[in-house]
Amino acid sequence: MTLKECKKEEKADREFQKKFKFEGTINVLTQMMVDPAVTEKRGGGKNLPLRRGEILDVIQFTNQEQILCRNSQRRYGYVPRAAMLHL
């Protein structure tokens, strides 16, 4: 990983912590897959776009309905629990 990529990731992580009022280090708890049967959604605001079969990093189990996740492009957002499957 180049220095430029490292700085870009650090900036994205700081923006995430500010936007979601997340304190502490960002740790991946587990990985989950978006249900292949779910309808794809664009996302927006604090919601992450959903793509069928995509593997997401789980950052925090926020409540019974949503999970805070990160996708492969290092974008963060909430995903409905009903749309997720354990690997």
Strand, helix or coil at 66? Answer: strand
State the maximum Cα–Cα separation within the chain, in Å, rounded to a whole number. Answer: 39
Domains of the chain: 3-86 (2.30.30.40)
In this prediction, residue 52 carries a pLDDT of 92
Residue 40 pLDDT level (bands cut at 50, 70, 90)? confident
Q: How far apart are CA 37 and CA 21, in angstroms?
A: 32
In this prediction, residue 17 carries a pLDDT of 92
pLDDT for residue 36 is more than 90:
yes
In this prediction, residue 32 carries a pLDDT of 96
